[in-house]
């Protein structure tokens, strides 16, 4: 009976965010090389790095807990992008990324800011702001893509933003 309760508890925790069950095989997180640190105040450089990442990862399938081009979840993609393209270590899970950096008003977003969404009662989604109301993310339906913040779906699900 105790095992069933524990199993149910673990299963329900996996619903808290798009990446609450990251791939924890030995070395997986360390397999993402850390790039040269980028000054996040240099919007031009940040945008170039983010678009470069998009070109390389465009269309990679969504996979809960994934952290590679064979499948990635939203927070894994954000983690990998910050680590490899911007030279910045941020937490791996959406739950912890929500506390990264400082809060930022939606109307003051700049390239590299994290944008968060509440897609269901207990499900969170994260992406990286690019420019012109666009953000980069790993969508559950279309994989790695660029979407518009003012898209009917994303506009209704927008929650908050943070500047790492």
Domain assignments of the chain as residue spans, ordered by start: 40-163
Distance, CA of 92 to CA of 110 (rounded, Å): 22
Q: What average pLDDT score do residues 99-118 get?
A: 97
5: pLDDT strictly greater than 70: no
Which of the listed CATH numbers 3.90.470.10, 3.50.50.60, 3.90.1720.10, 3.40.640.10 matches domain 40-163?
3.90.1720.10
User: Worst-scoring range by mean pLDDT, 7-11, 34-38, 52-56?
Assistant: 7-11
pLDDT attached to residue 30: 61
pTM, whole model, 2 decimals?
Answer: 0.84
φ, ψ dihedrals at 103, nearest 5°: -65, 150
Alpha carbons 77 and 122: distance in angstroms, whole number: 20
Under a CB-based contact definition with an 8 Å cutoff, are residues 111 and 47 in contact? Answer: yes
pLDDT in tens, 39-92: 999 999 999 999 999 999 999 999 999 999 999 999 999 999 999 999 999 999
User: So which residues are the catalytic ones?
Assistant: 74, 125, 137
């Amino acid at each position: 009976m105790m095992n069933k309760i524990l199993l149910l508890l673990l299963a329900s925790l996996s619903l808290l965010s798009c990446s609450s069950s990251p791939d924890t095989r030995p070395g997986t997180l360390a397999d993402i090389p850390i790039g040269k640190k980028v000054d996040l105040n240099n919007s031009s450089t940040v945008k170039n790095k983010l678009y470069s990442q998009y070109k390389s990862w465009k269309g990679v399938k969504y996979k809960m807990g994934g952290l590679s081009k064979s499948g990635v979840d939203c927070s894994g993609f954000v983690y990998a992008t910050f680590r490899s393209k911007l030279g910045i270590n941020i937490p791996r899970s959406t739950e912890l990324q929500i506390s990264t950096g400082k809060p930022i008003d939606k109307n003051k977003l700049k390239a590299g800011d994290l944008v968060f969404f509440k897609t269901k009662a207990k499900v969170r989604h994260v992406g990286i702001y690019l420019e012109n109301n666009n953000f980069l993310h790993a969508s559950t339906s279309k994989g790695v893509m660029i979407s518009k913040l003012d898209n009917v779906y994303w506009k209704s699900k927008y929650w908050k933003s943070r500047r790492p």
